[in-house]
Structure 1
Amino acid sequence: IMHGLNKFVFFQVLALLGQNAHGSEIINGHKANKNTMLYMASVQNYRGHVCGGFLVSEDFVMTAAHCADENPMRVVLGTHNLKSLSNAIIRHIEVRYKYPSYEKVGAGQDIMLLKLSEKVTLNGKLEPIRLPIDAQKHIKDNEVCHVAGWGMDRTGGTTVNDLRVVDVSVISLRDCNMEWKGVPDNVICAGGYKTNKGFCQGDSGGPLVCNGIAVGVVSFNRNMTCDYPDVPNVYTDVSKYLDWIRNTIKNA
């Protein structure tokens, strides 16, 4: 009987995780201040913006692995306004490096590195964001961080031209697992739960930033619903992939 019950619970968890939706933009946030977040990137295909991302070196941008489904072709850096690209830095994507064991959004391992066609100049207009040093030092429950992007500002809304940002609090994995009835390994939960702040559809791949460090990558919420409070928003935990990140950048 216990074996049968475990199988039932397992398939319930899979069914619930299957209801998730690609994560994205900013609910109840505000327009980002000028000359801040100089690492933010718009990942684009031939139609335009499809995902967020963030600069981690002169020639690499980090984003979510599921963004590859949109066939991104280029990255736009150095601007907060996607309608004003005259001074933006644009690079084509040379290679997409999805985490090798990634299968689908909601199943974890949702992280990808984009090799740019040409290095960018790091100056007062562009700066990479710091990554965690190791997997041991971790963020604390209830720590206030922020997430930014260009996607929808409400369920069923439209994407925005100006970069927007919102503060979100980190939620314990215990509470996150209880609300989701199970989440993938190596994730961080923040926002969307017991608050009216979080991300929405249109800008997966953006960073969860705590104390100036990109600790997470926007991965998914539930059912394309941004009517918070709801279950917690889920991010890929960058600290769990540091060896892969370093090796990929070094050997590319």
Structure 2
Amino acid sequence: MSYGRIIFAAAALFASFLFCECITGGKEAAAHSRPYMASLQINGRHECGGFLVAEQWVMTAAHCVREWPEGSKIVLGAHSLTGSEDSKQAFTVADVHSHPDFTSVTYDSDIALLKLDRPAVLTDAVKLLKFQREGGVEPQEKEVVSTAGWGSLNNLGERPDKLQELDVEVMSRVLCGRSDYYGTKFTSNMMCAAKRRMDTCDGDSGGPLLYKGVAVGITSNGGKRCGSFKRPGLYTIISHFTQWIDSTMK
């Protein structure tokens, strides 16, 4: 291979890393088209996503709230994180409820409920999202599911200001449980979903995975590199926790 070709190949490889369709691989959502989305912010910086499931309750991932410093807040009704939007509503958290079986070793049972300091005011930009309950129809392999978030656009951590969204496909449970994928860390409470160079990324955790307009999963964890072929996004299966959700929100 000539020197010029080596330089070109190296540049192409670097570009694929820097500007990977890594959201990763998504697009900007229409403003307020996902009015259930929540931004969990610590010291004014977006850290995780979440979604409004009742006027005073936000569902998210347990690993997002292992620490919840004083002054942290939840913002509803946002499209731009930094822009001045009349639709935004900011809250503090009255109570944090992480599932008691959550473990950071495997990220099993990665689900949490946050009780807001007051009920949200429902508007065109702030609405509830229905979530899948026990006995509901779950997406099967190769079916399309959608997700959204303000997470990293690439593996260098570049963050968007405006909400991003993408469609991915549910992957085979057998494949995700293989030793060269997640092995025994892939539990019965998880599903995995991705497409080539399309994946959730750092900062998308806690957001919803939707199937036919219903939240069936919570963005949980994945590989250190977003969009990695053998480390597709992992999502907590919400319907497995119906009883805990009901008892917590009572």
TM-score range with shorter-chain normalisation?
0.7 to 0.9
1:122 to partner: Cα distance: 1.7
Contact map agreement 2:107 2:221 (CA 8 A) in 1: no
Equivalent residue for 1:7? none
Q: Are the structure 2 counterparts of residues 27 and 105 from structure 1 closer, same or farther at C-alpha, using a change threshold of 3 Å?
A: farther
Letter in 2 for 1:95: D
Determine the C-alpha separation between the residues in 2 that align with 1:40 and 1:94: 19
Match of 1:71 in 2: 68
- Deviation of 1:105 (Å): 5.6
Structure label with greater radius of gyration = 2
Q: C-alpha separation between the residues in 2 aligned to 1:170 and 1:32?
A: 21
Cα drift, residue 232 of structure 1 = 2.1
Q: Which residue of structure 1 lines up, in the alignment, with residue 104 of structure 2?
A: 104
Aligned 8 A contact 2:150 2:164 in 1 = yes
Structure 2 CA distance for aligned equivalents of residues 136 and 56 of structure 1? 17
Q: Secondary structure at the match of 1:26?
A: coil
Match of 1:13 in 2: none
In the alignment, the residues of structure 1 paired with residue 177 and residue 103 of structure 2 have an alpha-carbon distance, to the nearest angstrom, of: 21
Structure 1 position 135, deviation (Å) = 3.6
Listed as ranges, the matches of 1:129-208 within 5 Å are 129-178=129-178, 179-182=181-184, 183-191=186-194, 195-208=196-209
- Deviation (angstroms), 1:156: 1.4
Aligned partners of 1:146, 1:70: CA distance in 2, in Å? Answer: 28
Aligned length: 223
Structure 2 residue 32 is matched with structure 1 residue 35: yes
Runs of 5+ in structure 1 lacking a partner? Answer: 1-24
Secondary structure of residue in 1 paired with 2:222 = strand
Which amino acid is the alignment partner of residue 119 of structure 2?
K
What letter matches 2:159 in structure 1?
A: T
Q: Contact between 2:107 and 2:220, CA under 8 Å: does it hold in 1?
A: no
Question: Aligned pair in 2 of structure 1 residues 215, 227: CA closer, same or farther (>3 Å)?
Answer: closer
TM-score normalised by length of structure 2: 0.84
Query: What SS class does the counterpart of residue 198 from structure 1 fall into?
Result: coil
How far apart are residue 185 of structure 1 and its match?
2.6
**Distance 1:202-1:105 versus aligned 2 partners, 3 A rule:** farther
User: Which shows bigger deviation, 65-74 or 231-240?
Assistant: 65-74
Is 1:45 equivalent to 2:42 in the alignment? yes
Question: For residues 186 and 135 of structure 1, do their structure 2 counterparts lie closer, same or farther at Cα, with a shift above 3 Å needed?
Answer: farther
Which residue in the other structure is 1:216 paired with?
217
Q: Which residue of 1 aligns with 2:13?
A: none
Aligned AA for 1:206?
Answer: G
Aligned to 2:210, the other structure's residue is in SS state strand
Instruction: Give the Cα separation in 1 of the matches to 2:238 and 2:84.
Output: 29
Number of the residue aligned with 2:83:
84
The question of 1:121 aligning with 2:118 is answered no
Deviations 1:7-32 (A, max 9, x none): xxxxxxxxxxxxxxxxxx81110000
Measured in 1, the distance between the counterparts of 2:105 and 2:27 equals 27
Residues 182-231 of structure 1: per-residue CA shift (max 9 Å, x gap): 31231111015xx1111111221011111101110111111x20143332
Structure-1-length-normalised TM-score: 0.84
Provide the rounded CA distance (Å) in 1 between the counterparts of 2:33 and 2:118.
23
* Structure 2 residue aligned with 1:228: 228
Helix, strand or coil for the counterpart of 1:239? helix
Counterpart selection for 2:51 from 45, 54, 62: 54
CA contact (8 A) 2:198 2:227 kept: no
Instruction: List per-residue Cα deviations over 1:52-93 (Å, max 9, x = no partner).
Output: 000000000000000113426210000111012442100111
Distance 1:71 1:170 in 2: 32
- Check whether the contact 1:106–1:220 (CA below 8 A) recurs between aligned residues: no
Residue type of the alignment partner of 2:100:
P
* RMSD (Å) for aligned C-alpha atoms: 1.6
